[in-house]
Structure 1
Amino acid sequence: MSRIQFSVQVRLVSDLTRSKQFYEEVLGCEVNDVWAVRDDFALGFKLMQAASSSDIKPNPPGKGQVTPWDTYAYVDTHQELDEWYEELISRGAEVVQEPQLTEADWGVWKDFAIKDPDNYVIAFGSGKKE
């Protein structure tokens, strides 16, 4: 049986040049004509110019969700998450969800979210304190 090597999310964007700049400068992705990837495709996007701005449709919030997510990425520890948050802020990221803790039976989850130029929300989270 064949194995999938990686996957990417397809993003219709209003301005391909502006989006490529965001994904490169803010998220630190390697960007070429349409690909924006980092960490060996752990985070990957195929950016496509939208035919019309009405075609750009970030996700609405889910039931009980305050901040909707279009992408959710994981890092290993809360410390790495805090470092990543500070790095994104220093690169000019627009935060739409400040870092927050959620307690569960198995432990404490921490996450935050930023948005791209077309209001797609990219969240980052970690479940390990150390």
Structure 2
Amino acid sequence: MSKQIHSSLKVLLVSDLERSKTFYRDVLGCEVTDWWAIRDGYTGLGVKLLQANSLEDVCPNKPAKGDMQVAYDIYCYVENWTELDELYTEFKEKRATIVIEPWIDSDSGPWKEFAIVDPDNYCIAFGGTNGY
């Protein structure tokens, strides 16, 4: 049997590497090194931050056809709504820019989510079911 993938990292080209490292450390609570920003171990949020050559290289996703006006660049699954609400409160207290306030999609699980943006407008969403 072949090995299963253990984890992955999202690679982001950023306009100001030090500013991004500060945001991921101070606002998102990540362990930040020269190689990555990690929260909750290698199966949690994992991002590799790289200095872009030019501002044109910083490219947050565009919304998909028919989607809402915000496009997700990273999506983080959270085990239950209590943890999701705690993350929302933590990020709000640290003055994260909330672009989608917590909402519940009753047709999908039900599913609850919210989203923030980093200094380069990469959108990071957090969501999950209520422990089902």
TM-score by length of 1: 0.93
Residue in structure 1 matched with residue 89 of structure 2 by the alignment: 86
Structure 2: runs of 5 or more not aligned: none
Structure 1: runs of 5 or more not aligned: none
- Kindly report the root-mean-square deviation, in angstroms, between the aligned alpha carbons of the 2 structures: 1.4
| Fraction of identical pairs, as percent | 51
Residue in structure 2 matched with residue 71 of structure 1 by the alignment: 74
Secondary structure at the aligned position of 1:117 is classed as coil
Match of 1:95 among 98, 103, 106: 98
Matches within 5 A, 1:1-130: 1-41=2-42, 42-66=44-68, 67-104=70-107, 107-128=109-130
2: distance between equivalents of 1:77 and 1:84?
11
Checking the alignment, whether the CA contact within 8 Å between 1:108 and 1:129 is kept in structure 2 is no
- Between stretches 1-10 and 84-93, larger displacement belongs to 1-10
Runs of 4+ in 1 over 3 A off after TM superposition: none
Checking the alignment, whether the CA contact within 8 Å between 2:14 and 2:58 is kept in structure 1 is yes
Checking the alignment, whether the CA contact within 8 Å between 1:8 and 1:45 is kept in structure 2 is yes
CA-CA distance at 1:129 after TM superposition: 6.5
Which has a greater percent of strand?
1
Q: For this pair of structures, how many residues does the alignment match?
A: 129
